[in-house]
């Protein structure tokens, strides 16, 4: 079964760009495309300054050194003084291509993950349906240090109550879709500050509990784990009071 991370990871493996910052997960689709446009413009600027017919001659005179015979030979070399612009144009074209490929990889991953889902399901995080969340608990796993085994926090488990028509497979597809969308947006989703799937490098796996469905959300980065827990716990917290008391 795929997880939100596995769907994204399969797509990211397709990106082997040598350009710094041009791996798919380095930024959003929009930012990749902006970088591609910027590099394409820079390539055009350098290309316009390259002149294939430009020539510059330079003399290189040999100087006698200790133990060698005196010489008056001066060798002439002819170069193209605009050659550097040609190399720079090629470099920026490659960088633009890397960013375009990264953008397309993210788009394709999102399209595959979200295929067949209704528009409202694609646009609304499953964690927006707080009334259908039955509970939240920390997700832990055993860790050993010498002979001592303890539990470490790796994320959170959010349990949804059973709903008509909901299956573990369908909920997993929805989870994967929102994980891929988060990656396509560069994990910058200010309109969904409650959604743990918007965070970078998370894994999410759905299992049936018999009377509902548990979504185990985990990460390796401690700061991300802490944010997963914070967001998950807030899902079952009463909304903050607004206004002032009379």
* pLDDT given for residue 78 in this prediction: 80
Same domain as 195, residue 160: yes
For 181-214, write each residue's pLDDT tens digit.
Answer: 999 999 888 889 999 999 999 999 999 998 999 9
Residue 212 has phi, psi (to 5 degrees) of 175, -160
Residue 6 confidence (pLDDT) = 46
Alpha-carbon distances of 212 from 4, 68, 165, 177, rounded to whole Å: 20, 91, 12, 20
Contact 245, 189 (CB under 8 A): no
Contacts 24+ apart (CB under 8 A), 86-90: 86/46, 86/47, 86/50, 88/42, 88/43, 88/46, 89/43, 89/44, 89/46, 89/47, 89/50, 90/43
**34 plus 134 within the same structural domain:** no
For residue 59, being part of any structural domain is answered with no
Q: Please measure the distance between the N-terminal and C-terminal CA atoms of the chain and give it in whole angstroms.
A: 54
Domain count, the chain: 2
HSE-CB at 97 with a 13 A cutoff on CA atoms is 10
198 with 169, same domain: the answer is yes
Is 75 inside any structural domain?
Answer: no
Asked if the model's pLDDT at residue 133 lies above 90, the reply is yes
The domain boundary, picked from 115, 130, 157, lies at 115
- Which helix (H) or strand (E) element contains residue 94? helix 83-114
- Tell whether the model's pLDDT for residue 244 goes beyond 70: no
Tell whether 137 and 100 lie within a shared domain: no
Given pLDDT bands bounded at 50, 70 and 90, which one contains residue 144?
Answer: confident
pLDDT at 148: 83
Query: Which of 100, 115, 130 is where one domain is finished?
Result: 115
Does residue 137 sit in the same domain as residue 216? yes
98 and 34 housed in the same domain: yes
Asked whether residue 134 falls in the same domain as residue 186, the answer is: yes
Q: Could you tell me the pTM of the whole model?
A: 0.74
Closest residue by Cα to residue 197 from 129, 89, 90, 125: 125
Q: How confident is the model at residue 233 (pLDDT cuts 50, 70, 90)?
A: very high
Together in a domain, 135 and 215: yes
Residue 217, in any domain of the structure: yes
Q: Is residue 63 part of a domain?
A: no
- 147 touches 165 (CB < 8 A): no
Residues 173 and 107 in one domain: no
Cα 156 to chain centroid distance, Å, stands at 22
CA–CA separation, 169 and 44 (whole Å): 49
Give the confidence band of 240 by pLDDT, cuts at 50, 70, 90. Answer: low
What mean pLDDT do residues 52-61 have?
81
Question: Residue 218: is its pLDDT beyond 50?
Answer: yes
**Pair 209, 110 in one domain:** no
Q: How far apart are CA 216 and CA 203, in angstroms?
A: 8
- Determine the structural domain holding residue 18 and report its residue range: 4-53+81-115
Q: How far, in Å, CA of 182 to CA of 22, rounded?
A: 17
**Buried (b) or exposed (e) across 227-241, using 16+ Cβ within 10 A?**
bbbebbeebeeeeee
| Residues 94 and 172 grouped into a single domain | no
Query: Average pLDDT, stretch 43-47?
Result: 95
Together in a domain, 190 and 126: yes
């Amino acid at each position: 079964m795929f997880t939100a991370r596995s769907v994204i990871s399969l797509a990211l493996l397709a990106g082997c760009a040598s350009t710094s910052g041009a791996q798919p997960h380095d930024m959003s689709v929009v930012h990749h495309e902006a970088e591609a446009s910027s590099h394409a413009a820079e390539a055009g600027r350098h290309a316009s300054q390259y002149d294939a017919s430009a020539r510059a001659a330079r003399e290189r005179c040999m100087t006698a050194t200790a133990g060698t015979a005196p010489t008056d030979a001066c060798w002439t070399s002819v170069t193209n003084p605009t050659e550097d612009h040609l190399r720079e144009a090629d470099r920026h074209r490659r960088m633009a291509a890397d960013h375009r490929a990264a953008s397309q990889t993210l788009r394709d991953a999102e399209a595959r993950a979200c295929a067949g889902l209704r528009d409202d399901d694609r646009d609304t995080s499953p964690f927006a349906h707080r009334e259908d969340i039955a509970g939240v608990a920390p997700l832990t796993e055993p860790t050993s240090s010498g002979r001592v085994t303890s539990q470490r926090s790796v994320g959170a488990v959010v349990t949804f109550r059973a709903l008509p028509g909901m299956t573990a497979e369908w909920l997993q597809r929805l989870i994967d879709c929102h994980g891929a969308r988060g990656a396509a947006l560069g994990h910058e989703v200010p309109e969904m500050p409650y959604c743990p799937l918007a965070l970078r490098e998370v894994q999410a796996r759905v299992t049936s509990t018999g009377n509902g469905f548990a979504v185990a959300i985990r990460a390796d980065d401690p700061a991300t784990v802490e944010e997963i827990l914070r967001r998950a716990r807030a899902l079952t917290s009463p909304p903050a009071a607004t206004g002032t008391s009379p």
